[in-house]
């Protein structure tokens, strides 16, 4: 069996195990049992990180210890029509036209392919390598919990190959830092007049995607589009009241769909429908190239009881309009690199409060803090409270490292041309691991994965074998 086929086989086994972020108990146990079955020593720490110790092959006993690292969790996104349960159902993998994707859900190639690649390298007796440490971390996608909990003494190696990048032929040597902000804004209830109607407005059909890797692509945010519709509603029907609003999901996924329910007098319902329809036409024109599938749909029904008053609706709409989303600044040092950005990730109502989640990124710590402060100020002006976490640091590149030189040589020898070296706007665990172990040499690479963090996620099959062959060459160089 070819190495690429073995990786695909292992990935298929991983896809059967539930591994939503913060729910990695089953995949962690699966990795431990697999390592034991292979005869490898294995450690599992308090947060369920797994470290597999793989002995050197004959003749490589004096080589340096190399760490192969990936995260075991995945972003769980699905289409509105999918009935998939990420807690129980296996990911249904489909391979066609040279690409691998899932059935209406995220594929989990980010970073299941990295985990599968590391396991394949360790389990293949024909691959020559020094002593390996396979480091599989938890909760990379929603908090980097595993990397944050890692202790320097858990690892002996000081060469780390992160298998969580998504463009074959590209070596990542630096990444952005980031912070999350969670906000709550109180809502004021008000009784509805008899005969009121509720108009549900649903924005959907957007591409979404990774809020770091694809924030610069000009794709629409369903929440931001919904805010624009709501702004028109407030202007033309000032007595409209808020019934519900929800949109977005993961902090690192650009919102693909969102819904607003507003209560109005029966005579105004048709106008609300017209406003939504008109805005839908504008959106289709504005995003015809970057996000051509945008849809705005409405549904009208009777309603009785309470809603949230008109001032509350206006306040919430104003906050969503001014809330930063998208690219805030481009790098002044690296052409084409996003320096600072924000993703208005999700909104929802619970316990008579609006809950907002956003994720900010920047390669410049002071600008990250400034953008976060701007968000917190906007929330305070809306009468709410904002709480931002400590975040994670940027990974500063070392262009003179031995691991980078070896990677470039191995790649050029294998494929006959030089790879691309880049710094990315997304966050990688290398930033946290490097902050704990300053002497760690690090680099990140992987097979080509398109549209991670969305149901359109897909991996190019041929690049899986290309990365595996390159990695085998690289490990062989550490004799």
Contact assessment for residue 348 and residue 380, using Cβ atoms and an 8 Å cutoff: no
3-state secondary structure 101-154: EECCECCCHHHHHHHHHHHHHHHCCCCCCCCEEEEEECCCCCCCHHHHHCCHHH
CATH code for position 382: 3.30.70.360
Report the b/e string of 36-55 with b at 16+ CB within 10 A: eeeebebebbebbbbbbbbe
Domain that holds residue 142: 3-175+394-476
The DSSP code for 57 is P
Residues 230 and 378 reside in one and the same domain:
yes
Of the residues 371, 388, 405, the one at which a domain ends: 388
Mean pLDDT confidence for 142-149: 92
**Is 13 labeled as catalytic in the residue annotation?**
no
Residues 240 and 148 reside in one and the same domain:
no
The DSSP code for 400 is T
Compute CA distances 83 → 78, 86, 145, 203, 269, whole Å: 8, 10, 29, 20, 32
> Rounded CA gap, 206 and 256, in Å?
5
> Rounded CA gap, 333 and 157, in Å?
32
Residues 300 and 374 reside in one and the same domain:
yes
Contact assessment for residue 182 and residue 347, using Cβ atoms and an 8 Å cutoff: no
Looking at the 3D structure of the chain, how many domains does it have? 2
Residues 408 and 354 reside in one and the same domain:
no
Q: Which helix (H) or strand (E) holds 424?
A: strand 420-424
Q: 427: pLDDT confidence band, cut at 50, 70 and 90?
A: confident
Residues 378 and 398 reside in one and the same domain:
no
CATH code for position 466: 3.40.630.10
Residues 55 and 159 reside in one and the same domain:
yes
| Contacts (Cβ under 8 Å, ≥6 apart) of 466 | 168, 169, 415, 447
Task: Pick the closest to residue 232 from 200, 187, 188, 279 (CA basis).
Answer: 279
Residues 362 and 401 reside in one and the same domain:
no
Q: Is the pLDDT of residue 112 over 80?
A: yes
Beta strands 132-137; 66-71: pairing state: parallel
Q: Which residue has the higher pLDDT, 303 or 298?
A: 298
Mean pLDDT confidence for 1-16: 94
Task: Pick the closest to residue 433 from 111, 109, 67, 21 (CA basis).
Answer: 67
Instruction: Supply the pLDDT for residue 213.
Output: 86
Point out the catalytic residue in the list 128, 139, 140, 166. Answer: 140
Residues 356 and 415 reside in one and the same domain:
no
Instruction: Supply the pLDDT for residue 303.
Output: 86
Of the residues 388, 410, 438, the one at which a domain ends: 388
Predicted confidence (pLDDT) per residue in 242-279, tens digit: 999 999 988 889 999 999 999 999 999 999 999 999 99
Mean pLDDT confidence for 71-75: 96
- Sign of the CA dihedral running 310, 312, 316, 318: positive
Q: Is the pLDDT of residue 1 over 80?
A: no
Instruction: Supply the pLDDT for residue 142.
Output: 86
Residues 271 and 380 reside in one and the same domain:
yes
Of the residues 368, 388, 408, the one at which a domain ends: 388
Task: Pick the closest to residue 468 from 171, 166, 114 (CA basis).
Answer: 114
Q: Percent of the chain beyond pLDDT 70? A: 100
Q: Which residue has the higher pLDDT, 212 or 411?
A: 411
Q: 143: pLDDT confidence band, cut at 50, 70 and 90?
A: confident
Q: Percent of the chain beyond pLDDT 90? A: 92
Residues 289 and 305 reside in one and the same domain:
yes
> Rounded CA gap, 122 and 145, in Å?
25
Predicted confidence (pLDDT) per residue in 188-207, tens digit: 999 998 889 999 999 999 99
Contact assessment for residue 341 and residue 360, using Cβ atoms and an 8 Å cutoff: yes
Cis peptide bond prior to 111, omega within 30° of 0: yes
Beta strands 449-450; 458-460: pairing state: antiparallel
Instruction: Supply the pLDDT for residue 371.
Output: 98
**Is 140 labeled as catalytic in the residue annotation?**
yes
Predicted confidence (pLDDT) per residue in 323-381, tens digit: 999 999 999 988 899 999 999 999 999 999 999 999 999 999 999 999 999 999 999 99
Point out the catalytic residue in the list 24, 73, 111, 166. Answer: 73
């Amino acid at each position: 069996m070819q190495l690429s086929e073995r990786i695909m086989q292992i990935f298929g086994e991983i896809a059967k195990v539930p591994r939503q972020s913060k729910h990695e108990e089953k995949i962690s146990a699966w990795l431990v049992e697999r390592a034991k079955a292979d005869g490898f020593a294995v450690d599992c720490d308090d947060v369920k990180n797994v470290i597999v110790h793989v002995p050197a092959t004959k003749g490589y006993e004096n080589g340096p210890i190399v760490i192969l690292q990936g995260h075991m969790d995945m972003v769980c996104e699905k289409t509105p029509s999918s009935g998939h349960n990420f807690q129980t159902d296996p990911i249904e993998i489909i391979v066609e036209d040279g690409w691998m994707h899932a059935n209406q859900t995220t594929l989990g190639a980010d970073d299941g392919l990295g985990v599968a690649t590391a396991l394949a390298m360790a389990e293949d007796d024909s691959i020559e390598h020094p002593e390996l440490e396979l480091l599989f971390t938890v909760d990379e996608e929603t908090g980097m919990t595993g990397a944050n909990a890692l202790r320097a003494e858990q690892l002996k190696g000081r060469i780390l190959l992160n298998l969580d990048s998504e463009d074959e032929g590209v070596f990542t040597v630096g990444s952005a830092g980031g912070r999350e902000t969670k906000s709550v804004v109180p809502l004021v209830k008000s009784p509805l007049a008899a005969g009121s109607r509720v108009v549900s407005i649903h924005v959907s059909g957007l591409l979404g995607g990774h809020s770091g890797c694809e924030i610069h692509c000009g794709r629409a945010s369903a929440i931001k589009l919904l805010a624009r519709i709501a702004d028109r509603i407030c202007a033309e029907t000032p007595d409209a009241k808020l019934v519900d609003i929800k949109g977005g999901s993961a902090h690192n996924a650009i919102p693909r769909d969102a819904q607003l329910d507003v209560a109005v007098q029966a005579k105004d319902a048709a106008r609300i429908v017209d406003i939504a329809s008109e805005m839908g036409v504008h959106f289709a024109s504005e995003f015809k190239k970057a996000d051509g599938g945008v849809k705005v749909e409405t549904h009208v029904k009777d309603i009785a009881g309470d809603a949230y008053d008109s001032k509350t609706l206006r306040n919430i709409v104003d906050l969503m309009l001014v809330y930063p989303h998208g690219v805030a600044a481009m790098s002044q040092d690296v052409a084409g690199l996003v320096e600072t950005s924000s993703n208005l990730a999700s909104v929802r109502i619970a316990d008579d409060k609006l809950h907002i989640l956003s994720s900010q990124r920047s390669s410049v710590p002071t600008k990250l803090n400034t953008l976060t402060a701007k968000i917190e100020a906007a929330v305070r002006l809306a009468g709410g409270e904002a709480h931002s976490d400590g975040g994670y640091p940027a990974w500063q590149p070392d262009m003179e490292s031995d691991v980078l030189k070896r990677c470039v040589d191995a790649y050029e020898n294998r494929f006959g041309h030089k790879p691309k070296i880049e710094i990315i706007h997304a966050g990688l665990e290398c930033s946290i691991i490097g902050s704990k172990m300053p002497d760690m040499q690090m680099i990140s690479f992987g097979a080509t994965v398109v549209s991670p963090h969305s149901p359109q996620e897909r991996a190019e099959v041929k690049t899986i074998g290309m990365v595996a062959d390159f990695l085998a060459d690289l490990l062989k160089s550490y004799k």
